[in-house]
Structures are given as structure tokens and as C-alpha cells.
Structure 1
Amino acid sequence: MTMTAQDFFAAKLAFETDPADLAAARAAGRAPIVVDTRSKAAWDQGHIPGARHLPGSELADRAAAELPDTAAEIVVYCWGPGCNGSTRAALTLTELGYCRVRELIGGFEYWAREGFAIESIHGRTRRDVDGLTAPLQGSAAL
């Protein structure tokens, strides 16, 4: 069976989400479970508020206890576009029977660069929006 371009892009959208869509879902009260797959040092440095910390190396052993509902919507993330930890985590979760797993496009890097809140061992903060990743408030379209 040959996959069409339409099939490919529909499948891709079924298994990915971006920071803006995740933030919108959370604001609308339909937030998925968000899982940070990075190391403890990375988690301490900053993570998405409300995320659960399940490092990739521990995910298979801890998933059943920490994510008991295999039908729950789950979004996994790692550092950013240069990190495939979220891809590996998504594969692990689907191998364990989780059926609604998606990756966060851009990972933590793009979440932070788009100006969404982050938590760290120092508290909650927000970075200025990076104009290369999201519109700057009040900027005119070129």
C-alpha cells in the first residue's frame, strides 16, 4: 500500500502538536498529560509547568505507576528539535500500549522561545517571545 501525501500529513498531525496548540488546549481546560523526558538537571533548569518528569531512561519502568490510563492523551517532549528523546519516549509508550501519544514539536526550547511560562528550581518565569518562533505582540505583518 502506498502512502499519499495527504495520508502522510494527516498521520503526522495525529502524532504531533506544537507549543501554541498545547498552550491553547491547556487554557481551554482540555490539557493532555505532559511528560518531560529529559534528565533531572534539565528538569531543574526549566520545564513546562504541570509536566510530569519521567526521564527516558526510566520511562519503561515507571510508566504503569505514573501513567495508569493507557487511553489518556499524552504529549512528550525533550530539549528541542535537535533532541530525539521525545521520539524514543513516544515509541516506548506506544510499545507499552498507550494509544494517544504525541510529540511536542520544538520541545522545551520552542515552548520557552514562544514566551510560555516555565518552571525551574528558582520558581516560575516567562521569557520574552523570540520573533523567529512566534509573532511579537503588536508587530505588523511584513
Structure 2
Amino acid sequence: MSGPRPVGIDELLERAREDLDRVEAAEAYEAAEAGRALLVDTRYAALRERDGVIPGALVVERNELEWRLDPHGSHRAPQATSHDLRIVVICNEGYASSLAALSLRQLGLHRATDLVGGFQAWKAAGFPVTAA
């Protein structure tokens, strides 16, 4: 029995990023401020409590992401209005968010991407963060 060649996580991440037009913190901030992007924080509660949150970002833990952002899903968030929505997925350091953005693209959310360096890059760049 022969199947597809196993792929390691580094290769999987590289493949995922080939299809994403990843954004830096400044671009994500400007797009969110102008209403051109929805920032989605997928970090787990302990990280949000430790480091804070991005004001206005939708918090959706990773295990619920596809259900909450599918515009046709029965459990969608009110912000999930269209497959044309520009979504910037944010994890802690910008690794898991790339895989999450790819998953959203597979659902038809063709403008989904992620934040290079994740929340830590946002915070280091001096963009707004509030206590969780």
C-alpha cells in the first residue's frame, strides 16, 4: 500500500506560506483601523491573560476557528459575513497562524492570511495591547 509521501512540519509550514500574502504588524494595524481586515486572535487564554489582547480583535481559540469564521456555518461569529472578508490570523509567534490561515482558505475564505511574528511582533512594534 502506497500513499502520499509523509511531510514534516517545516515543509508543511513552508507550503502553507507559499499561498499566503502574510502581513507585517504595521499593515495589519492599518488595515484593521481602516475596516479593511478582521484581526482574529487564536492564542489560548493563558497567553492572552499573560500578554494582553489586541483591542478590537476577534478572539477565537484555534479549535473553533473554522466553525466561527465559515460565513455559511451554523456556529459562525457575527463578523464572518462573507468569503471575501480579509482575515488576519494571529497566534503567539506566527507559526500556527499560517496553518490556520491555510485552513480558512480551504473553506473558501480566499483573502485569509496571517501576521508575521504573531502577537509578539505586534506588541514589539508598539501597537495597542490591553489587559485581557
TM-score, structure 1 normalization: 0.67
Equivalent of 1:77 in 81, 90, 93: 90
- Distance, in Å, in 2 between the alignment partners of 1:72 and 1:44 is 28
Residues 25-44 of structure 1: per-residue CA shift (max 9 Å, x gap): 344x2440000111122223
Unmatched segments (≥5 aa) in structure 1:
1-10, 122-142
Equivalent of 1:116 in 118, 127, 130: 127
Unmatched segments (≥5 aa) in structure 2:
1-16, 71-75
Q: Which has the higher strand share?
A: 1
- 1:22–1:31 contact (8 Å) kept in structure 2: no
1:22 aligned onto 2:35: no
Q: Aligned runs of 1:22-101 on 2, under 5 Å? A: 22-27=28-33, 29-45=34-50, 46-64=52-70, 65-66=76-77, 67-81=80-94, 84-101=95-112
- Distance, in Å, in 1 between the alignment partners of 2:36 and 2:53 is 16
Aligned equivalent of 2:10: none
Identity of aligned residues (%): 31
- 1:90–1:102 contact (8 Å) kept in structure 2: yes
- 1:34–1:74 contact (8 Å) kept in structure 2: yes
- Distance, in Å, in 2 between the alignment partners of 1:14 and 1:56 is 18
SS in structure 2 opposite 1:120? coil
Amino acid at match of 2:27: D
Provide closer, same or farther for how the CA distance between residues 92 and 111 of structure 1 changes in structure 2, counting only shifts above 3 A.
Answer: same
- Distance, in Å, in 1 between the alignment partners of 2:92 and 2:110 is 23
SS in structure 2 opposite 1:75? strand
SS in structure 2 opposite 1:76? strand
Over aligned residues, Cα RMSD in angstroms? 2.1
TM-score, structure 2 normalization: 0.71
SS in structure 2 opposite 1:25? helix
Point out which structure has higher relative CO (alpha carbons under 8 A, 6+ apart).
2
**Rg larger in 1 or in 2?**
1
